Structure 1
């Protein structure tokens, strides 16, 4: 149990009694006793609560985003100490984070941590949402998982419903936005609605107290959306990150200056919060859900286009065989033809990564409607691609779907067939539609030839019709993906992010094939506008994906 300080105020002693001493200091370091609750049963969204909750307290909620090494953890603890009223002269430092546990879990998971601090004196609370660093060496799957966890936090009954600030954490020494950091910002900002921009601020760490010129210039150059002050500078706050270091008499002034810098910045920050209206996350939830559906739609589109193209090849091959063997067919010769058949087969996926071990598929269409990162839903009806009891990918009712550790894969096989088998396969009948009685009376060679030619004509017509239907289906799928991307761009703060651009690369050639010039131009405009600010982020994204896919 922690020891009381004889010269401390009663409120400070009360805090000390609610923590475990880590180091006698000075400053004496304590870890606050907290209560953990998991908003999801798998522990991917965890909440640590300190202090007694009050009915209808005044609350401020901030979201922290930053790379490993920027001092985000120290910054969170700095905010906690400020909110609880701890002063430099108190010679104590309280921590709500657990560095050892964080180090163990962050290398394995994508947990989102919510810290809720309740102040007895203020009868108010502060909620800090800490997101793991995007774009680390665990790749795209981990980043996508973070997005889904954040989505779950926003829609959970006791989750976060509004935000007072989004804090982008940067080191003062940064004079450029790295590919990785840009990728992080792209990923986070793509999750929010456009109305969130005026509450995005910069927390600049490891600062000497001087103007952070390099960082601000880098932010402006990269056009990172954020709030600007009256002088048109990005709203920013400075921190030194030395508050918890053991103090010595020789450097007392350095530690005091560091503390005062953080205290002054947080005073300004909380004043800033008073000047802003908290943002409802209704639009953000819409963006997240739309993005999840877009991902699933485009992934399904890629598969379905691949399948239709394989079917086109199959049908073209059948037509070619029909033409090449026309004389043999007319002569009634006994022969066979080889055709490459495209088909789908359900396979086991239990050996996939745990977040890909279950997929939502449609029994009616034989389509994978949500193949990747479909781990959160308890059944197909709860899958993110479902809306209004129907699937947003294939439009079939949710009752036609199943969520299981199996998915459809496209396969091909060689089939040796006779002309009659080919006829039956593609016309769904043994004989063509004409007057059988008439031809039965015509036993002449000419009559038989007419009958054979009619069969061949029917088969050719059927093959052409099937190819046309395939092409129309492909156009319809391209239209669905186009509409999803356009809708996302209308509501997202950062619509031209690396996450969206990688889909444009795939979609534009297909839209061009469909011959819709206006759509092509719109997508190319989106791509061109994003190229300068996201080129490196997309490159980083592809390098990460390539590394983990072995490509």
Structure 2
């Protein structure tokens, strides 16, 4: 149910097989307990049709058996007429919203994966800055006198890691969609049938919805490698460190002290991943607006992560919204468990016109 847009609710009905012709109380109760969204009749019950074609039963036996078979035939025939009438008067719905739901789920997953990588890189960069601060505070006078004074730090960097991929002729099918400007993995595992990055589902209106700068599709590539965050132990001079953390400041600005620049860089790194966190949150909210059932497994697996990071950010309002959503999902999960038990007793099929 989480695949469909909300506009399809009235087009979903239950076809109940192996019926004895009476009202299927257990099945209807199971539909209610599992919170299955579907069309409703004048009694506000799930619109349903009952069938029993007795296809595995010997046809020519006793007169009693023949009477029973005729009864089941008549019930099924009448219900088929009802189903035909329902389909005739039910307006078909476009699948535009359903396609948007599917794309939003893909973008949410890709956004979370990118966010996790960005947080990892931020933590490694902050660890590098912490190491520089510790050495600078310990050897400040010596470092100021000797510009060639070297320190050892764990420097994070991005490397291209080979992945399994495949081609069909000249078309690359299995691969990672990456941004050559931001040097980030925008979609991995990627869209298998996307022949080029512009066809990937994380692209919207010609731009990426995932990478840091939301770059145009034209600067993305789809290849059999992805960016992997690694660290290496290197030696740096005080002068090189100062240049690195001063290089982005406008010439008109007075150069700040090394410690001030390191602190500003730490704040900048944290701000960047927090912005991406808000982007992931917006995908969840959009799904709640358009999806028939936002409480899917693909959304649920990300909620704990989002809640924890929102708490770190200190956004109490969004934490509350996500926690309420998680409570609803847990309740639906309990309903689904009951539904699985009922499925052992009844066969049910959901159809969409």
Q: Distance in 1 between matches of 2:331 and 2:157?
A: 42
Query: CA offset at residue 248 of structure 1?
Result: 4.4
- Per the alignment, residue 522 of structure 1 pairs with 321
Residue 413 (structure 1) shift: 1.8
Cα separation, 2, equivalents of 1:406 and 1:233: 53
Pair 1:396 & 2:215 matched: yes
TM-score with structure 1 setting the length: 0.54
- After superposition, give the CA deviation of every residue in 1:66-118 in whole Å (9 maximum; x if it has no partner): xxxxxxxxxxxxxxxxxxxxxxxxxxxxxxxxxxxxxxxxxxxxxxxxxxxxx
Residue 465 (structure 1) aligned to one of 258, 264, 271: 264
Pair 367,275 (structure 1): closer, same or farther in 2 beyond 3 Å: same
Distance 1:408 1:433 in 2: 36
Assess, with a 3 A threshold, how the Cα gap between structure 1 residues 401 and 246 changes in structure 2: closer, same or farther.
Answer: farther
Partner of 1:320: 134
| Kept in 1: contact 2:148–2:239 (CA 8 A) | no
For structure 1, the residue ranges without an aligned partner over 5 or more in a row are 1-188, 436-453, 539-551
Segment drifting more, 364-373 vs 205-214: 205-214
Give the superposition deviation at 1:422: 3.2
Aligned to 1:195: 7
C-alpha separation in 1, matches of 2:28 and 2:253: 79
Residues 395-429 of structure 1: per-residue CA shift (max 9 Å, x gap) = 10111000111111111222233433433444449
Deviation at 1:303, TM superposition (A): 1.6
1:277-322 residue CA offsets vs partner (Å, 9 max, x unmatched): 2112222222222222222222222222222222222222222222
Q: How many residues align?
A: 327
Q: Distance in 2 between matches of 1:501 and 1:296?
A: 15
SS at match of 1:495: coil
User: What is the rounded CA distance, in whole Å, between the counterparts of 2:173 and 2:188 in structure 1?
Assistant: 7
Q: 1:537 to 1:305 in 2, by over 3 A?
A: farther
Conservation of the 8 A alpha-carbon contact between 1:362 and 1:368: yes
Instruction: Give 1:235-246 correspondences, 5 Å limit.
Output: 235-240=47-52, 242-243=54-55
**2:286 counterpart SS class:** helix
Cα 1:192–1:433 shift into 2, 3 Å: closer
Asked if structure 1 preserves the Cα contact closer than 8 Å seen for 2:173 and 2:194, the reply is no
Q: Deviations over 1:437-461 (max 9, x none)?
A: xxxxxxxxxxxxxxxxx9xx73222
Q: Does 1:358 align with 2:164?
A: no
Superposition deviation, residue 211 in structure 1: 2.8
Deviates more, 1:201-210 or 1:368-377: 201-210
1:261 and 1:296 map into 2 onto residues whose CA distance is 50
What secondary structure does 2:257 align onto? helix
The 1:327/1:245 distance shift into structure 2, 3 A limit, reads farther
Q: Distance in 2 between matches of 1:214 and 1:434?
A: 74
1:513 aligns with 2:312: yes
The Cα RMSD (Å) is: 3.1
Aligned to 1:374: 191
Mapping for residues 225-374 of structure 1, pairs under 5 Å = 225-240=37-52, 242-243=54-55, 247-250=59-62, 252-253=66-67, 255-330=69-144, 332=146, 336-350=150-164, 357-374=174-191
Aligned partners of 2:123 and 2:319: how far apart in 1? 21
Instruction: Give the direction of change, closer, same or farther, for the CA distance of 1:303–1:248 in structure 2 (3 Å limit).
Output: farther
Aligned-residue offset at 1:484: 1.6
Instruction: Give the Cα separation in 2 of the matches to 1:433 and 1:279.
Output: 60
Q: Distance in 1 between matches of 2:139 and 2:71?
A: 91
Equivalent position of 2:231 in the other structure: 412
The residue that corresponds to 1:485 in the other structure is 284
In structure 2, distance between residues paired with 1:275 and 1:405: 51
- 1:200-211 superposed matches below 5 A: 200-211=12-23
The structure showing larger relative contact order (alpha-carbon pairs under 8 Å, at least 6 residues apart) is: 2
Is residue 497–residue 534 contact of structure 1 (8 Å, CA) maintained in 2? Answer: no
